[in-house]
Every structure is written in structure tokens, then in C-alpha cells.
Chain A
Amino acid sequence: MNLAATILIDGLTYASWLFIVALGLTLVFGVLKILNIAHGSFYALGAYAAASFVGWFATLKFAPGWSIVALLLAAVAVAALVAPLTERGLLRFFYGRDEVLLVLVTYALFLILEDVTKLIWGANPYYVSAPYSLFGNVEIGPQVYVGYDFLLVGLALVVGIAVWWGLNRTRQGKIVLAVIHSAEIASSMGINVSRVYMLAFSIGIFLAAIGGAFTAPMISVQPGVSVGVIIVSFAVVIIGGLGSIEGAAVGALIVGLARSLAVHLAPVAELFSIYIVMAAVLMVRPEGLFQQTQARKI
């Protein structure tokens, strides 16, 4: 019973983290039709920026509670700086090209950003411990959990609901949906499609960066942070169906639980349990669990 609870809670916290990151990925794919390998790099940028911001806040003698604000600001800064640069400066030249080619463009971007982060922040690890101890410990039965982990669950809920609400209940969201449906018709209706692309891409990057920023306190921020995230979040969006928010949520839960089951019951399988689920879903429902099968276009 205890074990089941542990597995569930571990899976849930891991899933929340995954969901935040994968949501950005799925949003960018839904709107821009780009499966973004560099998403992991934006995640890493978020984590590094968080390290810097928390450091600055500490030297400016803010109370430790402000470090959460620092994390948020870090994510905003990354999105505001990097999104226009990459979308306007790079991606727009490749719109409409083959999807696989676009994956390669973002792969190139990933390679570039790997070195850029190293040039800015160096190769030594950063530790952002201040926010981690803010929320104390939570005792559930005999187990003690770090309160910060549950902050992630809350953040995932807030972010997920906000994005869903924004897309389905606001005017701007309806415009985005129209562009997802058909960019051509939307633009002939007078919608500024490039602005929608820009907006969606910025939100996508913001989600990656906020995922990175709020993970920074739990890990040591160092080169290689990005590489591991990419394929796991790919797994999530593939399982749920590319471009689907509900899919990303369910995909994150499945992957999170699969991983925590593996960690606790069969540690050998930890690394590949995720990919087995991913491969299995691709084999049975290649469009993902939450995507309608599309008719073949001639």
C-alpha cells in the first residue's frame, strides 16, 4: 500500500514536470507544425537563467521567498529574448518545408544553443538551492516528501488550465485555433498569421523555460541538461498525439507512472520504460491516443 502511494506520488510529480515542458512542445507543433528538438535547449536556458536570477536576487538581499519570483522572471526573460530571435531570425525562413527537414533545422538550433549556453554560463554546474527548501517537508504516512515537489504539481495544473482556457475561451485563442486549422484561410480572413506564429512560439518557449526554471532547484544545472529532456518530452507528445493539450496531460501521466513503476519495481527498466511505451503507442496508434486519424490526402 505504501509502495503504491509512493509510486503514485513520484509518478505524479514527474508527470507534472513533464507536462509543463511537453505542453510547450505540443503547442508549437500544433501551430507551427515544427517538432522542436531545440525545445530542450530552451528548457536548459530557463534553468540557467533561473540560476543567474536567483543568484542576483540573493546578492540584492531579497528575502528567500522572492526566489520563486526570480524563477518566474527567468522564464519570462528567456521567452522575451529568445523567441523573437529564433522565430523571426531563423524559423520563418523554413515555414512550409517538409516536417522532417524542420526537425533538422531545430536540431541545428539545438547544436548551436548547446554551445551558446556553455559560452555564457561555462561548463561548471550551478546549484539553485534557495527555493527548494522554501516549502518544507510534507509527511504522507511514513514517507517524507519535499514540499517543493508539490509546487510543481500545482504549477502544472495552473499552466495547463491557463493554456486550455486561453485557447478555447478567449478571442486570441480562437484565432490561434483558426490558424491551426488552416493558416491560409485564416490569413485571407484578415488574421495576421505571422503574429500568431510568433505568439504561439513565444508561449511554447516560455513553457519550456518555466519548466527549466522550476526544475533548476532540484538538479545541478550543467551542460547536458537539455539532451535528456528532449526525447522524453517527445515521448509524451507522441503518446498523447501531437498538438493535443489533453494528450500531453495524459501522455505525461502515462510516462510519469511508467517511469516511477520502473524505478520502484524494476530499476533495470528505468531508462527504457518510457521509450517502450512510446514505441508501443506509435505501433498501435501512430497518431497518438488523442488525435483523430487523418484521411490520406492525395
Chain B
Amino acid sequence: MSASVSTPAPALPLRPARRAPRRLVLGGIALTAALLVAGAYMPKWLTFLITMAASHGLVSLGIVLMMRGGVVSFGQGLVFALGAYAAALAYTRLGITDALGLALLGGAVATLGVAPFAPLLSRYRGIFFAMLTLALSMVVFGVLTKTEALGGSDGFNMGRVTVFGQKLADGHVGYVLYSVTVVVAAVLALLARVYFDSTRGLLTLAVRENELRVEYLGGSVRRAMAINFVLAAFAGGTGGALVVMSLGHIDPNFSYWTTSGEFVFVAILAGWQSVLAVFIASTVLEVVRSFSSLYFPNTWQLSLGLFLLFVIRFLPRGIGSLWIGRTGSARSAEKPR
């Protein structure tokens, strides 16, 4: 913090000084490895909690991706449900049991499922974007609830997945799924960071600042928004597939608006600057959820709501702003001339 004051502010760099991508990758790998090792010693409830946090975090990562362009999707439960249903159906109907394959399949199906809407949605901003995504997710919710072949409102169960052709023993299944989830989430998180720092990723930030200016400078705002939406769908679908593998059960509530609301909650809590913050925020939500439903089951939504208000009021740029973008925030606080 103090460093930014003492050093003279450089001219606005086109790329944020290429923050040593190698260091970033190494740091990511180290963190993942540490989580994998630690996971072997964690109690079961904790590995499950982190599995849920990481897989749900992927969906919120998608929202953060769009938030960087200034739009928030209130219907991300749609891609979450698409990915999860795709994985569960591929398991029960097609006999695909490989965890990694199912995760990728979930992401792919969600991407293909919403891709036709991307060009349309790229025209929408603010409340209209939020409402249209919300409407689409609620249509899917309605369809899923009424489709008896998919278990209707009760959903259906799926069995235990395999990893690299290996069946999972009772004692190991939790840890293995935890490892798979952590690794997949880490890979996608790194890719997200790379994308954030790429030209299009930075263009997205510019859209947030001033859309018209981007157009005048020759950038395509709509293409950037469409691509962000599709990438977010992939992350969300993968997250959904990972969740259903660990839960072993799926129902239409995956697509309900309150589910989407929780994803937005995490995204707002995280802020749009840091990828790591998304997963921290997601873990915070899971911790609050499990502990309050254990100790004060009647007031956990109350605490969640107060917490959210607190964050919006006092930490409007999310917890990511605690360690990133102090200098950036000072710069963007300047009024555009």
C-alpha cells in the first residue's frame, strides 16, 4: 500500500506489467498441491465442504468473469443445472463414469446449451441482462420440474463415478472427488487468470469503464460480452457436474433463482479483481452455511443477509480488493476526462 504512494505512478500500462505468469502458475500449483496433501489429513466434513466450495466457486467465477464487463447474471443456475444434469444423465443413461470426462462433458453441454443465446444477451446490460438470464433459468426450472423422465421435482440419483477407470472404495471416494474437484477448479482458475490478463480480458475491463470509448477505439463490445458469457457457461457447467458427482443427487432446484442468488452472493463477496477471492468467498459461504445450519438453523439466512449487506456497504469491491488493485482503484477513481 505504502509502496504505491512512494513510487511515481506509471503511465497506464496496456497490460498490468505481466505479473510474472510463471510465478503465478507455480504459486497455483503449490497451492493445489498443498490442498491435496492437506486433504488427506482433513476430516471428512471438511473435504466435503471444500469440494462444495470449489465446485460452486466455479459457477461464481463465471459470474465474476461477466462482472468484469459490468453485467451480473441472475440466472447462472441455468448453466449449473445444465452441466449437472448432463453429467448425471451421461452417467445413468450412457454409462460414462469417468469423473474428469463427466466434468468436461458438463461444461461442454452447458456451453452448447446457452451459446445460441450469447449473441442476444450480449446486447443487454444492467437489470435487463439480469432479468433475461433469470427468465431463461426459470424456464429451464419449469421444464425440469415437469419432465417426469428426469424425475420431475424430485430429481434422481446417480451412482459413484470412476477415476481413470478405477472404481472408488468407500473409504477413499470423498478424498478422490475432493482431489478431482480441487485440480479441475485450479486449472480453470489459472486459465481464468490468464484470460483476465489477455487482451480480451482487459478489453472487458474497459467495457466496464466506458463502453462507447471501447467501440470508438475499434474493440467489439458485443463480441467480448458474448465470449465472456460462453466462457462463464463452461465454468458453471463444469461446476455443476462436479457438484452432482459429490452429492450423488440432482433436482430442478439447481436452476431455481435462489440458487443463482447464492452464486451472485459469492461473486459480490469476492469482487471482480481476484480469482483466488472467488474461491475464498465460496468457502466462506459454505462455512457460514454449514455452521449456522448446525448451530442456529432458524437464522442462517438472517446471518447471510446481514453479512451480504455488510460487504456491500463496507467492502463494495469485495474481499479481493483487500490485497489487489489498491493502486488500480486509485487510478480508476479518477474521473474520465
Give chain A residues whose Cβ lies under 8 Å from the Cβ of B53: none
| B85 CB–A CB distance under 8 Å | no
Closest to A238 in B: B131
| B132 CB–A CB distance under 8 Å | yes
Q: Are B302 and A275 in contact, with the CB atoms below 8 A?
A: no
Give chain A residues whose Cβ lies under 8 Å from the Cβ of B143: 272
Q: Are A231 and B312 in contact, with the CB atoms below 8 A?
A: no
Q: Are A268 and B298 in contact, with the CB atoms below 8 A?
A: no
Give chain A residues whose Cβ lies under 8 Å from the Cβ of B261: 107
Q: Are A99 and B127 in contact, with the CB atoms below 8 A?
A: yes
Known: A112-B301, A115-B299, A286-B124. A104 touches B135 (CB 8 A): no
Q: Are B126 and A283 in contact, with the CB atoms below 8 A?
A: no
| B40 CB–A CB distance under 8 Å | no
Please report which residues of chain A, range 101-129, place their CB below 8 angstroms from some CB of chain B when the two chains form the complex.
Answer: 101, 103-105, 107-112, 114-116, 118-119
How many residues of A sit at the interface, in one of the four size bands?
Answer: 35 or more
| B264 CB–A CB distance under 8 Å | yes
Minimal beta-carbon separation of A100 from chain B (angstroms): 5
* Other-chain contact of B309, A35, A90, A115, A272 (Cβ < 8 Å): A90
Q: Are B305 and A109 in contact, with the CB atoms below 8 A?
A: yes
Give chain B residues whose Cβ lies under 8 Å from the Cβ of A110: 305
Q: Are A268 and B138 in contact, with the CB atoms below 8 A?
A: no
Give chain B residues whose Cβ lies under 8 Å from the Cβ of A35: 127
| B212 CB–A CB distance under 8 Å | yes
| B128 CB–A CB distance under 8 Å | yes
Q: Are B131 and A234 in contact, with the CB atoms below 8 A?
A: yes
Give chain A residues whose Cβ lies under 8 Å from the Cβ of B301: 111-112, 114-115
Docked CA distance A271–B257 (Å): 14
Give chain A residues whose Cβ lies under 8 Å from the Cβ of B138: 231, 272, 275, 278
Interface code B278-318, partner A: CB below 8 Å = 1, 0 otherwise?
00000000000000000000111110111011001100100
Docked CA distance A219–B50 (Å): 40
Known: A101-B312, A103-B130, A104-B268. A275 touches B298 (CB 8 A): no
* Other-chain contact of B308, A111, A273, A279 (Cβ < 8 Å): A111
Give chain B residues whose Cβ lies under 8 Å from the Cβ of A107: 261, 264-265, 305, 308
Docked CA distance A227–B259 (Å): 12
Top 5 A-B residue pairs of the complex, sorted by shortest distance between their CB atoms = A272-B142, A111-B305, A271-B142, A112-B305, A115-B302
Residues of B within 8 A of A (CB): 71-72, 74, 120, 124, 126-128, 130-132, 134-136, 138-143, 145-146, 212, 257-258, 261, 264-265, 268, 298-302, 304-306, 308-309, 312-313, 316
